């Protein structure tokens, strides 16, 4: 009897360990997470508009139907990414997620303070490799460090009334997310800096 | 033989307890870092890098994307102010004032987080399209059949959730009480 009780206590203790390990492992082993759901729908390093939220569209749960949503699925292994989002009339925001859906950065049109939200996204290593040029570190260039090489950028534009949805979609359609074109120029600059 | 049986029993108990607890916390959520105001619950930390492991597990399991802190904050209500589960066949009134925010939206979802089909194609309200009283307060009637004023259709489903999202708002990780964030009341006013 004592032995049975001891077995059950040991089982419960071991169960605690199993619980902790499985909770920590779940983000890595989940196959239906947002990134996996969006992978077949989106292009890599390009802005893809998501279909409008309605009851038949079940891409992701808990999407706000008042927003036009577009996604840029990024991979920084080929170099930093430049993101440009023109601001819509009502409200525009840009949120950054890691491969495992950690929201590490979000900015809205008012905190960006300009008509166009312009950001450079790079890994920490790429940020450190940047030549220390005053023009580049100037305040008009906002650099975001991504904790992972891959992830998601979600662009959202609010349609305050259903009739304004086309306008919100149009402002997102004008946004871009692409590998930086000035990459070769920077590489050419780098050796000069060393001399 | 007996030792083998006992080891197997211990391992069985460990598996059931461990995975059961994980399943419970991932589906129902935990109270870690929650902000509760009336019937509304928010987890402002899910929009930051220091999100707790339980919320991360829930987020990846559901396949959702949490709203980033620089964007806004989301409050969910599954019950009314008297802890009665929200029933789509009843008349529920959401009324009062809202915390400071540039925009807010109120959306109705089924328990899986999908929108509920209705003939009006109305799934929620934004702060701009709502009809308000002279004092700025509003009243939204959540009901299966058409109501005067701000009617949010439930489609007659048994259980639903309301999500109240504030965009560009000071409400967030530092918010603690009703005084910082006066959330609207939810009351069930009649069931057929």
Note the pLDDT tens digit of each residue in A6-45.
Answer: 888 999 999 999 999 998 988 888 888 999 999 999 999 9
- Could you report the predicted ipTM of this complex, rounded to two decimals? 0.87
Q: Is the pLDDT of residue A182 over 60?
A: no
pLDDT at A2 > cutoff 50: yes
pLDDT tens digits for A153-175?
999 999 999 899 999 999 999 99
Q: Is residue A188 part of a domain?
A: no
Structural domain harbouring A126: 44-52+63-181
What would the mean pLDDT of B92-107 be, rounded to a whole number?
92
Q: Cβ contacts (< 8 Å) between B102 and chain A: which residues?
A: 91, 110
Predicted TM-score (pTM) of this structure = 0.87
Give the pair of three-digit tokens for residue B99.
């915390």
Hey, is the C-beta of B25 within 8 angstroms of any chain A C-beta?
Answer: yes
What was the pLDDT predicted at A184?
46
From the list A4, A26, A65, which residue is nearest B107 (CB)? A65
Residue of A nearest to B51 (CA): A102
Higher model confidence: residue A3 or residue A104?
Answer: A104
Would you say residue A188 has pLDDT above 50? no
**Domain harbouring A72, CATH code:** 2.60.40
Domain count, chain A: 1
Query: Considering only residues 81 to 140 of chain B, which have any Cβ-Cβ distance to chain A shorter than 8 Å?
Result: 102-103, 105, 107, 109, 112-117, 121, 123-124, 126-129
Whether A66 and B46 lie within 8 Å, measured CB to CB: no
Question: What is the model's pLDDT at position B109?
Answer: 94
Q: What's residue A173's pLDDT?
A: 92
Using CA atoms, how far apart are residues A37 and A50, in angstroms rounded to an integer?
12
Instruction: Answer whether residue A57 is part of any domain.
Output: no
CB contact, 8 Å: B10 with chain A? yes
pLDDT, position A140: 63
User: Band of the pLDDT at A138, cuts 50, 70, 90?
Assistant: low
* Nearest chain A Cα distance for residue B95, angstroms: 20
pLDDT band at A187 (very low <50, low <70, confident <90, very high): very low
Interface contact B69-A103, CB threshold 8 A: yes
* CATH topology assigned to domain B31-52+65-190: Jelly Rolls (2.60.120)
Looking at every residue in chain B, the average pLDDT score rounds to 89
Alpha helix segments (H runs only) across A99-154 = 109-112, 124-129
């Amino acid at each position: 009897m004592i032995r049975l009780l001891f077995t059950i206590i040991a089982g419960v203790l071991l169960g605690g360990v199993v619980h902790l390990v499985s909770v920590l492992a779940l983000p890595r082993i989940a196959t239906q997470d947002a990134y996996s759901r969006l992978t077949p729908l989106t292009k890599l390093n390009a802005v893809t508009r998501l279909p409008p939220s309605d009851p038949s569209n079940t891409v992701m749960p808990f999407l706000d139907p008042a927003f036009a949503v577009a996604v840029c699925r990024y991979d920084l292994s080929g170099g930093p990414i430049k993101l440009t989002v023109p601001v819509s009339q009502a409200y525009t925001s840009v949120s950054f997620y890691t491969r495992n859906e950690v929201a590490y950065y979000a900015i809205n049109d008012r905190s960006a303070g300009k008509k166009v939200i312009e950001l450079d996204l790079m890994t920490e290593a790429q940020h450190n490799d940047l030549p220390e040029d005053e023009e580049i570190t100037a305040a008009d260039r906002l650099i975001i460090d991504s904790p992972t090489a891959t992830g998601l950028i979600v662009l959202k534009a609010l349609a305050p009334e259903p009739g304004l949805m086309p306008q919100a979609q149009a402002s997102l359609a004008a946004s871009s997310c692409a590998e930086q074109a000035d990459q070769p120029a920077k590489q050419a600059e780098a050796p000069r800096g060393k001399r | 033989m007996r030792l083998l049986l006992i080891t197997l029993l211990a391992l069985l108990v460990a598996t059931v307890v461990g995975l059961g607890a994980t399943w419970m916390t991932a589906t129902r959520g935990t109270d870690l870092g929650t902000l509760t105001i009336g019937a509304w619950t928010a987890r402002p930390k899910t929009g930051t890098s220091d999100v707790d492991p339980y919320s991360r597990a829930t987020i990846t399991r559901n396949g959702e994307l949490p709203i980033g802190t620089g964007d806004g904050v989301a409050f969910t209500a599954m019950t009314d102010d008297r802890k009665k589960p929200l029933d789509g066949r009843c008349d529920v009134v959401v009324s009062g004032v809202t915390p400071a925010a540039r925009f807010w939206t109120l959306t109705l979802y089924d328990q899986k987080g999908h929108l509920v089909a209705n003939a009006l194609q109305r799934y929620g309200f934004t702060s701009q399209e709502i009809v308000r009283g002279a004092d700025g307060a509003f009243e939204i009637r959540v009901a299966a059949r058409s109501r005067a004023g701000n009617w949010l259709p439930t489609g007659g489903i048994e259980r639903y959730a309301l999500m109240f999202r504030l965009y560009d708002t000071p409400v967030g990780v530092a918010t603690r009480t009703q005084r910082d964030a006066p959330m609207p009341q939810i009351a069930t006013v009649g069931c057929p």
